């Protein structure tokens, strides 16, 4: 009897270990591309964070993107990874005559269609690397904080180059390589007091904990972005690292915190 009880206990322990591994497997579930935005809880939390007045996207990245785009009056614009297309609405209000967005999340496309319904803008439900790019159509191609989710940029850059008219502009932002190099600092916490930069020259896949999900991103150095753009035929006109402007912040402490480390890397390129 004692031997049978011992075997039974061993069996239960093995089953528990299997169960624990399965639980850990769930915790380690990774979301590629736009997949996370089709999780209802993640999507709701993302929109709440994204639409904060002092979200870095609003206070740092967007003003610089608009500055790099310059005069968009009368321009045809393609927005890759357009999200809910609120940016598209703003571009149309500023005089853009044609706006196409490409978005791989069904939830985001639903929001984009709502936002664009009273405009001439259009959104396509597709992963950008699978979209059928037209040739020599757009004056401007823009992509805001979407390209670091892609494993292959060489192909996308070539598609973008061919989709632009002569002297057309390609403007994009990505998460700064200082942040994508290591995920050791990407843990839920209060305002950070330091950041870890590690494995900077080891490019490739990273899995970052973000809004209670494990999100797959791809780290590249500044040099790699530059070389990939050159290989696609682009001339790099300007590079920005998102230096904050005090006038875009209502809180001095938040402004000073954002002065400590670059969050974004932005390029202005020309065909």
pLDDT of residue 28: 58
Q: Is the per-residue pLDDT at 180 higher than 70?
A: yes
Is the pLDDT higher at 161 or at 246? 161
Reported as a pLDDT band with limits 50, 70 and 90, residue 163 is: very high
Reported as a pLDDT band with limits 50, 70 and 90, residue 183 is: confident
pLDDT of residue 15: 39
Tokens 């998102």 sit on residue: 242
Pick from 115-129, 137-151, 206-220: least confident: 206-220
CA separation for the pair 214, 205 (Å, rounded): 12
pLDDT of residue 30: 83
Pick from 28-37, 84-93, 193-202: least confident: 28-37
CB 191, CB 257: distance < 8 Å: yes
Spell out the domain ranges in the chain. Answer: 32-270
Burial of residue 149 (number of CB atoms within 10 Å: 0-12, 13-18, 19+): buried
CA separation for the pair 109, 248 (Å, rounded): 29
**Full 3-state SS string of the chain:** CHHHHHHHHHHHHHHHHHHHHHHHHHHCCEECCCHHHHCHHHHHHHHHHHCCCCCHHHHHHHHHHHHHHCCCCCCEEEEECCCCCHHHHHHHHCCCCEEEEEECCHHHHHHHHHHHCCCCCEEEECCHHHCCCCCCCEEEEEEECCHHHCCCCHHHHHHHHHHEEEEEEEEEEEECHHHHCCCCCCCCCCCCCCCCCCCCCCCEEEEEEECCEEEEEEECCHHHHHHHHHHCCCEEEEEECCCCCHHHCCCHHHHHHHCCCCCEEEEEEEC
Is the pLDDT higher at 247 or at 61? 61
Pick from 103-112, 147-156, 183-192, 197-206: least confident: 183-192
pLDDT digits (tens, 9 = 90+) for 28-75: 588 776 777 788 888 787 877 777 767 888 889 999 999 999 999 999
Is the pLDDT higher at 184 or at 161? 161
Tell me the CATH number for domain 32-270.
3.40.50.150
Question: Mean pLDDT, the chain, as a whole number?
Answer: 86
What does pTM read for this prediction? 0.85
- The tokens of 235 are what? 């001339």
- The tokens of 145 are what? 């904080």
pLDDT of residue 264: 97
CA angle 49, 209, 268 (to 5 degrees): 65
pLDDT digits (tens, 9 = 90+) for 2-40: 444 433 443 333 333 333 333 344 455 887 767 777 888
CA angle 31, 265, 242 (to 5 degrees): 120
pLDDT of residue 138: 98
Reported as a pLDDT band with limits 50, 70 and 90, residue 194 is: confident
Pick from 105-109, 110-114, 180-184, 208-212: least confident: 208-212
pLDDT of residue 38: 82
């Amino acid at each position: 009897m004692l031997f049978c009880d011992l075997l039974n206990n061993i069996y239960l322990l093995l089953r528990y270990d299997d169960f624990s591994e399965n639980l850990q497997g769930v915790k380690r579930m990774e979301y590629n591309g736009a997949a996370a935005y089709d999780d209802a809880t993640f999507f709701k939390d993302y929109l709440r964070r994204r639409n904060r007045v002092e979200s870095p996207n609003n206070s740092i990245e967007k003003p610089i993107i608009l500055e790099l785009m310059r005069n968009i009056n009368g321009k045809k614009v393609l927005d890759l990874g357009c999200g809910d297309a609120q940016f598209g609405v703003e571009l149309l209000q500023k005089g853009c005559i044609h706006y196409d967005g490409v978005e791989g999340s069904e939830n985001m496309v639903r929001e984009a269609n709502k936002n664009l319904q009273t405009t001439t803008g259009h959104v396509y439900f597709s992963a950008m690397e699978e979209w059928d790019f037209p040739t020599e159509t757009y004056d401007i191609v823009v992509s805001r904080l979407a390209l670091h989710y892609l494993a292959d940029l060489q192909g996308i850059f070539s598609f973008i180059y061919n989709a632009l008219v002569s002297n057309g502009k390609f403007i994009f932002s990505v998460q700064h390589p200082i942040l994508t190099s290591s995920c050791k600092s990407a843990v839920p916490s209060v305002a950070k007091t330091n950041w870890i930069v590690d494995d900077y020259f080891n490019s490739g896949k990273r899995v970052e904990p973000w809004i209670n999900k494990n999100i797959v991103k791809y780290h590249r150095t500044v040099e790699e972005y530059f070389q990939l753009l050159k290989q696609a035929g682009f001339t790099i006109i300007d590079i920005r690292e998102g230096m904050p402007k005090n006038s875009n912040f209502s809180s001095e402490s938040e402004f000073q915190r954002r002065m400590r480390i670059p969050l974004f890397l932005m390029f202005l390129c020309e065909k």
